[in-house]
Structure 1
């Protein structure tokens, strides 16, 4: 086993182990309440993780040739031999992650995978590793190709992204309160609860990975408010306990909408327009849901 594979195994074992400890604790904590812990959400996340580990062996990555092209035509060759270079890589990766994450919510092609991460109807640590089986096929890692073009080795970019996702593991909790001044700089559990909420006023917000500063700069930061508790899951909740349905339902609905489109241009629009968009104007985009909530 390579050192990279060993580190991945240790990290995966850690996050799964801690998430199961949290699940047991929440089960005990809520044993006498109506808010019973939903164990099937944990099992669905575990199936998702296992599926992604198996699919990793298949050479199906759309981002691989893009990374190779970017590296071949790189304008520099970056060596991480100083604290400044490490910091620049961190900030650059955060910038790319912000736009990857924002596009994953605003372009239906990427949302079809990312919606799987938002499908749990309860927010727990196990939600962190439900990421969808089709990420490699959609080539979402291509958003980080600018770093490779600038001269950062592809494997370094991917390791940095893995560390970013590992940081986000602890954000998927409902029991950690706001963290004072840290809320202004870092992505925190409070900020990420808003990101996972399906309330109309909370939709499409707080896209940051480790930092929240790009959300503040680009106007997508929304603060968690006590008077509006977060309601987790999708705006149309996923109720199925069948992992195939959870993983593929948004691809099926996309294909159905494209098939029913009146022309090829409209069919293509379904791929690139935001989730909820319909050519007849009867859809439920974030903007339409917010307007409905405001009027109501």
Structure 2
């Protein structure tokens, strides 16, 4: 983490001191997520220790089987990001299209050495992320890849590592509007920082952060996002900032009187990371086959996971099952 923080400070200082262009003008930037992995794992261990000290037990907050599944997903995510031909094709296409737009059609050239460019990029990336994340919940075929991250019945730092190997596939078009004013490498840096920020908010150990709750996405807000309680469904999509949810009416406050139940509304009952990656596609296929009209078949793909014929685009919240907590730590090592 020291190396990552040092690099981050170096970038900030170069911007604030106006010492020139600290980043290459392409997509060839350091992989800060990979560099941070040893330190992320250290925080995972620290959380377990604090959880044990605070509660005298890990039951109800951590499971070995569940955590190993999350680690497996993290390995899939990294391996897919490093060696997958499809990922290389997708990232290559994104890099090519974004760079071409920036080089030929940018409407304003932000100065490379200006702090203003840094802040604009950070806010813009988070704004785009909000809409990517929201689409992943409100479009069934997108949810098929994103549900992996929500498949844990627990909420701890290992859950942050439960990422879909297919995460890059559909996200990149949402960032293309930034090509009209944000240099390519600055975009890539802030995409990584946006993802790294979201690691620490996957914990139950941190309560309210006071006034910061009005602006930032915090553990308190993100717990709601991971809940399968009715009031939690399709809420709090922000990455770093929670202001987008407040602006676009997708914000929900954590309720002290109602325990959040984590995981999917429809239980999968599996720790197999391969199955967790693909099971929702099989459910979509079955639903498509059961529809009679082409429009209904298309609706299964493009409307919300809860959509049914005759229902609104996202379904009815009253149709969401009332879920209860299952402490699988009593059943697994």
Cα 1:40/1:283, change in 2 over 3 Å: farther
Task: Please tell me whether the aligned partners of residues 48 and 131 of structure 1 are also in contact (alpha carbons under 8 angstroms).
Answer: yes
TM-fit CA distance, 1:153: 3.4
- Per-residue CA deviations over 1:7-56 (Å, capped at 9, x if unaligned) read 43321222123113323543565555853631111111111111122212
Match of 1:69 in 2: 97
* TM-fit CA distance, 1:152: 2.4
C-alpha distance in 1, partners of 2:66/2:141?
24
Structure 1 residue 162: Cα displacement: 1.2
Any unmatched runs of 5+ in structure 2?
1-27, 323-333
Counterpart in the other structure of 1:146: 177
Do structure 1's residue 96 and structure 2's residue 136 form an aligned pair? no
Deviation of 1:65 after TM superposition, in Å, equals 2.1
Cα deviation digits, residues 133-175 of structure 1 (max 9, x gap): 2223x32222111112x14233432321110111111100111
User: Could you say if the C-alpha distance between residues 243 and 33 of structure 1 is closer, same or farther in structure 2, counting changes exceeding 3 Å?
Assistant: closer
Matches within 5 A, 1:59-138: 59-61=85-87, 62=90, 64-74=92-102, 75-76=105-106, 77-136=109-168, 138=169
Aligned partners of 1:89 and 1:286: how far apart in 2?
Answer: 37
* Alignment-derived partner of residue 52 in structure 1: 77
CA 1:111–1:123: 2 relative to 1, 3 Å = same
| RMSD after superposition | 2.5
Is residue 128–residue 174 contact of structure 2 (8 Å, CA) maintained in 1?
Answer: yes
Q: 1:224 and 1:254, CA in 2 relative to 1: closer, same or farther beyond 3 A? A: same
Paired residues, what number? 288
**1:68 Cα deviation (Å)?**
2.2
Please identify the structure whose Cα radius of gyration is greater: 2
- Structure 1 pair 268–284 and aligned structure 2 pair: CA distance change class (3 A): closer
Of residues 8-17 and 72-81 in structure 1, the stretch that sits farther from structure 2 once superposed is: 72-81
TM-score by length of 1: 0.88
**Which residue is equivalent to 1:172?**
202
TM-score, normalized by length of structure 2? 0.79
